[in-house]
Amino acid sequence: MSSITSSAPSGAAPRRLTSQDFRTLGLAALGGALEFYDFIIFVFFATVIGKLFFPPDMPDWLVLIQTFGIFAAGYLVRPLGGIVLAHFGDMFGRKKVFAFSILLMALSTLGMALMPTYATIGVFAPILLVLMRILQGAAIGGEVPGAWTFVAEHVPFRRVGFACGFLTSGLSLGILLGSSIAAVINTVFTPEAIADGAWRIPFFIGGIFGLLSVWMRRWLQETPIFAEMKASRALAPELPLKTVLRDHKRGVIISMLLTWILSAAIVVTTLMTATLLQKLYGYTAQQSLAATSFGTVFLIFATSAAGAIVDRIGSGRFFTVAGIVFGAATWAFYSFAGTSIITVFVLYAIMGLAVGMVGAIPYVMVRAFPARVRFTGLSFSYNVSYAIFGGLTPIAVTSALAINPMAHAWYLLFIAALTVGVGIYLMLHGDKVESEAGIEELTARLAKA
């Protein structure tokens, strides 16, 4: 069994990324960016949505918690949607699931743009909002693990880290699009105009983006590894999830821990921070969203860099060092964010670079399961963990802030320690995480074909 920190399969001739590889990566990353934009745009308008979809006499703190609760609903349904879509992805192909997931996301985002508010239909408004978030959660549940699986099975073994990191950059680009468009909306329109209907514009844009992605993905081809498995009748002989839970428990556990790290890093430092800068540090919506956009630019480049680095040095050493850097950068940001807006921008750039470590996380996860159940194993681990930690983090952090104004920073410091712990474990036991029939075996077989 090979170590998960190894850089290449023994005896397999390395090859460089081809123009076709870059085309696949580009289309997959851009499609992921547009779908992720659809999923996260909600959080940038959490304040105005809370006022429009809940009773006007409800306290502001309770409105914020309930609004983030609806945001969490999208995460809580991800395991079901992800497992169902992954099942079909392992049985019938990665490409078909790719197209369907983004179609579902586009339609549910357009639905959010058209929804009536509490003033029009009363209690049915938040109910419809929850329903649309559930559909979005089901779609994103299949998108992210499916995308990582798709690109990892297209590129050479030695470029899996970079490919997954590049795709994660695409997802980060979706966050940048969301924060940038939110900043434009808050600059062009007055708060009254936004509440009157301008808040719907980003959701209309997202729906159109999603439909465009459906069209773009028709140019993608099925992964060579899945095609080879299908031709040689090596697909999973039984329910893929059953195989994952019975034979790959260690891969599930390490993947869930890594997803916890990823979800905490993204949800708190990127998705929640625009609101936190307004509520805790007194910045305007425009300033907060501009700072988030600025930091996300650095995150985009850092995720690709993290993937390239982990290809060279392995996951154990990478996460041990990255965890320390992440802890220092996030603590510094939230400690000094109230100093000045210039300080916010400088520290957000540094924090964005540190958060970029998440670009190396799928490198470990795609190698933790054999190809015949990779989509299901990755999807189950990722979505269950994200539902728990990603979905509940906004509620938990918002509630804890009433007790300690630095609760968000302390939580991220704990996540940094967890990252270091996972890195040390991978250095010592990485060979027990990677599956005996992972990407390495099938890539070597394809190279000899």
Range in 212-226, 320-334, 367-381, 385-399 with the lowest mean pLDDT: 212-226
Q: What is the CATH number of the domain that holds 312?
A: 1.20.1250.20
State residue 319's pLDDT score: 96
State residue 58's pLDDT score: 66
Grade residue 182 by pLDDT with cuts at 50, 70 and 90: confident
Grade residue 46 by pLDDT with cuts at 50, 70 and 90: confident
Range in 20-24, 107-111, 234-238, 244-248 with the lowest mean pLDDT: 234-238
Grade residue 320 by pLDDT with cuts at 50, 70 and 90: very high
Residue 13 covered by a domain: no
Dihedral of alpha carbons 383, 384, 388, 389, sign:
negative
Query: Mean pLDDT across the chain, nearest whole number?
Result: 81
State residue 173's pLDDT score: 87
Residue 30 covered by a domain: yes
Give the C-alpha distances (Å, rounded to integers) separating 311 from 66, 117, 200, 305, 443.
42, 49, 42, 10, 15
Grade residue 133 by pLDDT with cuts at 50, 70 and 90: confident
State residue 390's pLDDT score: 77
Residue 393 covered by a domain: yes
Contacts of 91 (CB under 8 A, 6+ apart): 235, 236, 240
Residue 3 covered by a domain: no
Residue 60 covered by a domain: yes
Of 260, 258, 263, 252, the closest CA to residue 376 belongs to: 252
Give the C-alpha distances (Å, rounded to integers) separating 103 from 35, 148, 213.
9, 18, 8
Range in 3-12, 109-118, 128-137, 278-287 with the lowest mean pLDDT: 3-12
**Mean pLDDT value across residues 179-199:** 87
Grade residue 261 by pLDDT with cuts at 50, 70 and 90: very high
Higher pLDDT, residue 361 or 399: 361
Residue 6 covered by a domain: no
Range in 74-83, 142-151, 291-300 with the lowest mean pLDDT: 74-83
Domain count, the chain: 1
d(CA 403, CA 282): 19
Higher pLDDT, residue 253 or 137: 253
State residue 5's pLDDT score: 39
Which tens digits make up the pLDDT trace of 292-309?
Answer: 889 989 999 999 999 999
Residue 226 has pLDDT above 80, yes or no: no
State residue 306's pLDDT score: 96
Grade residue 72 by pLDDT with cuts at 50, 70 and 90: low
Residue 336 covered by a domain: yes
pLDDT more than 90, % of the chain: 25
Grade residue 224 by pLDDT with cuts at 50, 70 and 90: low
| Domain of residue 405, residue span | 19-448
Residue 1 covered by a domain: no
pLDDT more than 70, % of the chain: 82
